Structure 1
């Protein structure tokens, strides 16, 4: 039996909630075994609940009090769209990876908070999420966190943190 539109929207809203505090078991309840997160940049790429949970852990390590406020939830067939605002406080380092898995950028914490709008797109399959995309306002987030425009001192911190992350990746 397939889930109805209301259930699908609730599943997608739940997926945003568990990004902040959910366990691997929580992720398995809302994502298919081979779910694809088109926004993840972790390496090696993992699909399914494990990959989504790893993305959540990476974000949790960088942002405390991370959460999403859902403003709108709409569905058309197998597609669910959420309009959200993500908020949090950067208390850890955020590392980004390129398509080859190499460290591409590192953003050390400046201890600031942020609030940025996002739109999340989900393709549903059998009542679970099979695919995820997002449109994020990363420029606002970067400005609020003090990443943009980078000061000379922050650029030095970014370069040193990137070198450290690259050394750790090789170890």
Structure 2
């Protein structure tokens, strides 16, 4: 009996990690935005809005919000990729270590002009899974590294003290 429960638990964790892997591969890398409807819950809680967003964290329509985020970022970085380096799951939460890469080729309204420079930055994304969909998201992104590498901001002269 205990082995069966353990096997079922491992199976659920594997399925949850598969959803997160599909999120990055299908939505971000393959640009299959129809996958948003399958993977993202309609009632979704976003704790990590886009940089400089005027929208506070909160409840959003998951598929629509994801399509908007993809459009906004790929408008600036048309070759954007998010490759999963590692996934860890516990209970109903999956953590992903991701490396994001892209080239700043497009401008958004009010944003800086494109520089043609590329970036590579690490991120962590945490998702809560329920009912076979992603229902909640947190992220820690290295946006400063991205902005320095793409020339949006300049690092301070001289660097840190030795």
Q: CA deviation at 1:94?
A: 4.2
- Give 1:30's match in structure 2, choosing from 31, 39, 45: 39
Q: 1:124 is matched with which residue?
A: 129
Q: 1:82 is matched with which residue?
A: 96
- Report the TM-score when normalising by structure 2: 0.77
Structure 2 residue ranges without an equivalent (≥5): 1-8, 156-162
Distance in 2 (alpha carbons) for counterparts of 1:138 and 1:38:
16
Name the SS for the 1:139 alignment partner.
helix
Structure 1 residue ranges without an equivalent (≥5): 96-104, 151-171
Which structure carries more strand by proportion? 1
Q: 2:151 is matched with which residue?
A: 146
Distance in 2 (alpha carbons) for counterparts of 1:94 and 1:15:
24
Question: Relative to structure 2, which stretch is displaced further, 18-27 or 81-90?
Answer: 18-27
The answer to whether the Cα contact below 8 Å between 2:41 and 2:61 also exists between their aligned partners in 1 is no
Distance in 1 (alpha carbons) for counterparts of 2:105 and 2:70:
15
Distance in 1 (alpha carbons) for counterparts of 2:112 and 2:23:
25
Distance 1:21 1:57, change over 3 A: farther
- Report the TM-score when normalising by structure 1: 0.73
Distance in 2 (alpha carbons) for counterparts of 1:50 and 1:140:
28
Q: 2:78 is matched with which residue?
A: 64
Q: 2:115 is matched with which residue?
A: 110
What is the aligned-residue RMSD (CA, Å)? 2.4
Q: CA deviation at 1:24?
A: 3.9
Aligned length: 141
Which structure carries more helix by proportion? 1
